Structure 1
């Protein structure tokens, strides 16, 4: 059960306070902003292993088409004068840079805080713990550059990031984890984006030991530059998503995936103000987001 109460739907994000937000923003250099999101486009690498749809985008209105169709009844002259374009899209909510909500994974039909699918999952979406419940996240961000520790651009396929890797990275960077951090783990997979053949298969990622270490250190969210955060395939023969189930269902720690951490690594920016908010999609198991990093001012 959640230490934040029987009705809690956001887990460790409860540690975000007005005071912590003010402190982070007061220290941030707003003149230097690094975008931590990837671009979203037709043909992008995305999770389709379970039959999920790829990202799609199409035009709903074009200047010449509107002149022919006259969709709003203003006549050909106006349609030829007013050049109007508009488009639509369809996407799996776990496409591109996004955050996993606490209803995304659980055990035996139950998610975070003991909420059951039988009671809270409707025909279209969960009634609780969706993306609409998440507040904007403004917190200290920490880069854990594991690829740099090993002196490689990209970690080997299916490399499992454990406690020793994380501790080595923190020692190399001379940074300590703090309660309330958003931890961003770099495997180097972001350096091959958007090459799907190199980005998607046999991901290096955090294993259960590494996830446990970060959760117990007080992380309020854990992200990475790969598509699943955790190492794939799973080393656990009984759980194909051992890190997801642990962090989301047991710890209440949201997961952020497909982060672009390359510029942070190039600048050796290991501590920063993390600012991010996801789309408020009611009941959704994930929310597309565009997180930003701002360096802290020099003291």
Structure 2
């Protein structure tokens, strides 16, 4: 989901300007955010897997592909790639979506007083009942976008129409519950480390050459069906929500095309809130990478994925194992992915 447009970023979107960290190499300024210059495609993608396909490039997960990566697991360490959820955490809010909320429904002392189960004070004192509840926008924390999240002219991936397939209980096509368990080869492309910085500067737009340079430095190659995760270093600011959401770096459209069309990526993701950066480089599309990946290529997007531990240990290839909550008709869901290094 796109980043928070409030304050500084809203002004940048309106003016089409860009800023770079003073500590970052001036030579990278040419690939920072630039005003919109191009036109987007105006048709959704039609699936090569047939008219009933609802999962797009996730069809690249096969018994053989799962067995191939699982057979290589080294097993000495497992990396948790998910963020924590906490009150005030970074989240998309400017379109009116709810903040993450967390509250107590039952406490040990409260149940002694209220006796909600009718079991008596002595039982409540002994059993010390705690209960909680939470609510949030579906694109909060580490999550994955379903193919219905963005479309073109009321259509989504494979030509499914909102007029026919979207009801009061969500989409009856391409909902997040249709996703299979995600077991695939994972590759991290550590763009920040390849450039010798802890974090890419505000609004830096990653190019295909940036990806190629990082892959070469890592001695890593892409394969069809990979889950490809881009590290910008932004996760260092996760506990400072205002800073994390203000004008983050992200992927350029050509870089996304390179990952899917040349690299064969099945799923793409990054450690920022939006995957792409702003202002948009496409004149008639404020979220061109979401449109291209979800609506035209059938490639899901993972956002807010924690990659710093992988970077620290220089783990670039791994078995990616995870899965979203099965929310019927949902356009996204929380994800708890792990990375297990491979031989």
Aligned to 1:153: 198
Match 1:163 to one of 183, 195, 208:
208
Aligned to 1:66: 111
Pairing 1:218–2:264 present: yes
Match 2:247 to one of 183, 192, 202:
202
Aligned to 1:281: 327
Aligned to 1:264: 310
Aligned to 1:251: 297
Aligned to 1:291: 337
Match 2:283 to one of 237, 256, 259:
237
Q: TM-score, normalised by structure 1?
A: 0.97
Native 8 Å contact 1:38 1:258 kept in 2: yes
- Partner-residue secondary structure (3-state), 2:310: helix
Aligned equivalents of 2:301 and 2:271: distance in 1?
A: 11
Per-residue CA deviations over 1:164-216 (Å, capped at 9, x if unaligned) read: 11111111111111101000001110122121122111121111100111111
Native 8 Å contact 1:202 1:233 kept in 2: no
Q: How many residues align?
A: 297
Pairing 1:144–2:164 present: no
Aligned equivalents of 2:276 and 2:114: distance in 1?
A: 49
Q: TM-score, normalised by structure 2?
A: 0.85
Per-residue CA deviations over 1:44-86 (Å, capped at 9, x if unaligned) read: 1111121111100101111111111111111122112210001
Aligned to 1:189: 234
Pairing 1:43–2:88 present: yes
Pairing 1:105–2:150 present: yes
How far 1:236 moved relative to its partner?
Answer: 2.1
Aligned equivalents of 1:70 and 1:253: distance in 2?
A: 50
CA RMSD of aligned residues (A): 0.9
Aligned to 2:76: 31
Structure 1 segments of 4+ aligned residues over 6 angstroms from their partners:
none
